Amino acid sequence: MSTTFCRLSHRPLALVSSATLAAIGLLVGAAALAQAQPGPIPIADFVRRGNFFAPVMSPDGKLLVVTQRTPKEPRDEYATVIYQLEGMKLLSAVRSQAGFLPLRHAWVTDTRVVTTLGQEFGTVGEPWVTGELIAMNSDGRGIQYLYGYRRGQSDATFGRDSLGNVADDRGSGRIAQIPRVLDGHMLVTENPWGVTARTSRLYDINTGNAGRRTVTEINQPGFGFVIQSDGQPRFAHGYDDNANYAVYKFDDANRAWQPFASAGKGDLRPIEMSSDHSKLLGKLSMRNGPYALIREGVDGTGRVTLAQDAVGDIDRIERGLPYQGPFAAGTSMGVPKLSYLEPERSDAMLHKALSAQFPGAYVHFNSVSRAGKRTLFTVYSDRDPGAVYVFDATSGKAALLFEFQPWVQPERMAELRPIKFKARDGVELHGYLTLPPGPSDAKRPLVLVPHGGPHTVGDTWAYDSDAQFLASRGYAVLQVNFRGTLGRGPKFEIDGYQQWGGRTIDDLVDGVRWIVAQGTVDEKRICSYGASFGAYASMMSAIRAPELFKCAIGYAGVYDLPLIYDEPAAKRGGRAHQYYLKVLGQDMDQLAAYSPARQAGKLTAPVLLVHGGADETTPPVQAEAMRDALTKAGRPPEWMFVSGEGHGFYGEKNRQAFYEKLEAFLAKHIGK
């Protein structure tokens, strides 16, 4: 398949080894030593994207696989790059076809890796997983297309960005499990596409020749499997056609899948089996509250709570030694915090020691070698996009491998402060406030930045380029995890269903009113700005509370809710249609009342609309409807439309131009 991938001879310039930093007790982040530079931070520092991500160490601790991005106009190029960790010697670099990127990597032997492919449709939101799996050796040879909709095509057509081609595998494949004995096999879940697809399958795939055998199947679409260490599936779970979560257990006696109801009740989400196959690790919500981490017998009895939080889901799980289960778990609410489940384990003690050496940062273990001799870990914070290190247990030292965005100077970035307040109906809400440098008694202009989704994990404690850019220009930034956001149990999410223009906007407006009451911001200089759903919420907030907002900015937004039912995803029916019915509702009068494009006469604040002509997530007709409605109401918006861009701009020049326009618009309407 030489036309699909080619080995690159050059070494990526940005991925270089460093000298050993110090003994573990003396680790010092290089960024902490940097001196702040005078003058405003260039816009380019906020629009540039990192060149490396998804690092995974081989099971024997000798190799590193990472995705490399090469900036190009109009579309970036990506490659799967493999290094020998000792001396950071480049072994191979295999380029992906234009439009595709390696999203995740998994080692199936000490020298063979499988990559999951994806596609970017814009920089707003996560890339779309195509469901394709590619295997290659560490030297870049032995490339094998294992699963995907282009399986069986000739080299001449393989890899082209053409979703309409005839293919053998018309669905999405994802790695379910790598066997303990690394023999080049893996278990893969298949979820066929199409509204008539009814079956989810589990395959055993030989990564050397793409041979496969069916392990099991269940007559439910889009399900995943929880598998024992011996490769036998025990649980299947997922959302049915009515968008309701369901769990099945394999009945050995009848050799069939049966609905599973835990003896302990509650909303149980299976995660993994214990090494002896007797227990299930899962997330559990009781009475619709936050999900806790629990372990119980496979018969649903003997439940033990391992970690829980009064407000947030246990959504962070740290793993160390292979096949030993998690050693720590915690919540993303506020500043992430962990509970050590087995504090005497060697990997838990190492994590605690490393965390102590990076105060104010979060340490995440990417991978640990099978003997625990080497640990690949990431360190990041609200001010630092992060860096990747490798710790060697023999020497007791750690070495810096690369930084995700090395040009960012953490000491010049603003703190992301967790906040909480009461909504008008008494429900406690959480979010973050970013304040620019300056006197503590100064009242800053405020930008409300609603997150996208909306039914996704919302704003979390991490580096946020939008918030940092706005803070660098002197604006306070408010981010609210409104109802509908994941991370606080099922009820909190469901309370946002069919409330996009109602309770969701109430929560955002209540957050603004709360921060104004604290005396931190200037109540006469407030603007709203968001992307995707955040753009919708930005407009609706200014419509619902016109006395608060002096301007509103929408980037890659949705503005006319009834139009969503005319889009291809909704028209296909099946689970997509059921999802829209569940989260949007089908009361067209209410949807019209909740649509900024149909309420434009109530929007008195100046508006900036930014959109890409190739946006498939929120098609251009959405932005055009908003623009036309405002123009008809006698208040035409400022307009930035780039024909070749998708759901968020790819090109750095276009992102630079957008930030320049954003900065100028804010300065015009709420001051510099």
Domain-wise residue ranges, the chain? 414-670
Residue 15's nearest CA partner among 390, 419, 412 is: 390
- Other Cβ atoms closer than 10 A to 89: 12
Question: What is the per-residue pLDDT for 154?
Answer: 40
Measured distance CA(484)–CA(466) in Å, rounded: 22
Least confident window among 116-125, 181-190, 462-471, 540-549: 116-125
Is the dihedral angle over the CA atoms 528, 533, 535, 539 positive or is it negative? negative
Confidence of residue 672 (pLDDT cuts 50, 70, 90): confident
Question: Residue 44 phi/psi, 5° resolution?
Answer: -55, -30
Confidence of residue 581 (pLDDT cuts 50, 70, 90): confident
Residue partners of 548: CB distance under 8 A and separation at least 6 = 509, 512, 513, 523, 526, 541, 542
Question: What is the per-residue pLDDT for 619?
Answer: 94
Residue 381's nearest CA partner among 414, 430, 422 is: 414
CA distances from 633 to 241, 555, 599, 623 (A): 41, 21, 10, 15
Least confident window among 28-32, 381-385, 495-499, 581-585: 28-32
Question: What is the per-residue pLDDT for 570?
Answer: 62
Architecture of the domain whose range is 414-670: 3-Layer(aba) Sandwich (3.40)
Question: What is the per-residue pLDDT for 15?
Answer: 35
Question: What is the per-residue pLDDT for 111?
Answer: 97
Q: Phi-psi region for residue 84, left (φ > 0), alpha (ψ -120 to 50) or beta? A: beta
Question: What is the per-residue pLDDT for 8?
Answer: 31
- For the segment 318-333, the average pLDDT, to the nearest whole number, is 95
pLDDT tens-place string over residues 130-171: 899 999 999 999 999 999 988 765 433 333 323 333 345 778
CA angle 126, 127, 129 (to 5 degrees): 120
What angle do the packed helices 503-517 and 533-544 form, to 10 degrees? Answer: 70
Residue partners of 306: CB distance under 8 A and separation at least 6 = 281, 292, 293, 294, 295, 329, 339, 341
- For the segment 25-40, the average pLDDT, to the nearest whole number, is 46
Q: Which two tokens stand for residue 591?
A: 């949807």
Question: What is the per-residue pLDDT for 30?
Answer: 36
Measured distance CA(190)–CA(178) in Å, rounded: 15
Question: What is the per-residue pLDDT for 152?
Answer: 64
Confidence of residue 516 (pLDDT cuts 50, 70, 90): very high
Given a cut of 90, whether residue 651 has pLDDT beyond it is no
Residue 357's nearest CA partner among 31, 24, 30 is: 24
Given a cut of 60, whether residue 385 has pLDDT beyond it is yes
Confidence of residue 362 (pLDDT cuts 50, 70, 90): very high
Measured distance CA(104)–CA(175) in Å, rounded: 10
Question: What is the per-residue pLDDT for 168?
Answer: 54
Given a cut of 80, whether residue 419 has pLDDT beyond it is yes
CA distances from 260 to 162, 237, 268, 320, 556 (A): 40, 10, 10, 30, 41
Confidence of residue 5 (pLDDT cuts 50, 70, 90): very low
- For the segment 628-653, the average pLDDT, to the nearest whole number, is 94
Measured distance CA(5)–CA(373) in Å, rounded: 33
Element (H, E) at 67: strand 63-70
Place of tokens 């409330």: 499
Percent of the chain surpassing pLDDT 70: 90
CA distances from 358 to 203, 265, 315, 365, 560 (A): 42, 40, 22, 14, 46
Question: What is the per-residue pLDDT for 494?
Answer: 94
- Kindly report the three-state secondary structure assignment for every residue of 369-382: CCCCCEEEEEEECC
Given a cut of 50, whether residue 238 has pLDDT beyond it is yes
Q: Phi-psi region for residue 160, left (φ > 0), alpha (ψ -120 to 50) or beta? A: beta
Question: What is the per-residue pLDDT for 159?
Answer: 35
Question: What is the per-residue pLDDT for 192?
Answer: 85
Given a cut of 60, whether residue 626 has pLDDT beyond it is yes
pTM of the model: 0.90
- For the segment 467-492, the average pLDDT, to the nearest whole number, is 97
Question: What is the per-residue pLDDT for 259?
Answer: 93
Average pLDDT over all residues of the chain: 88
Given a cut of 60, whether residue 293 has pLDDT beyond it is yes
pLDDT tens-place string over residues 211-221: 999 999 999 98
Burial class, 188, CB count within 10 angstroms (exposed 0-12 / middle 13-18 / buried 19+): buried
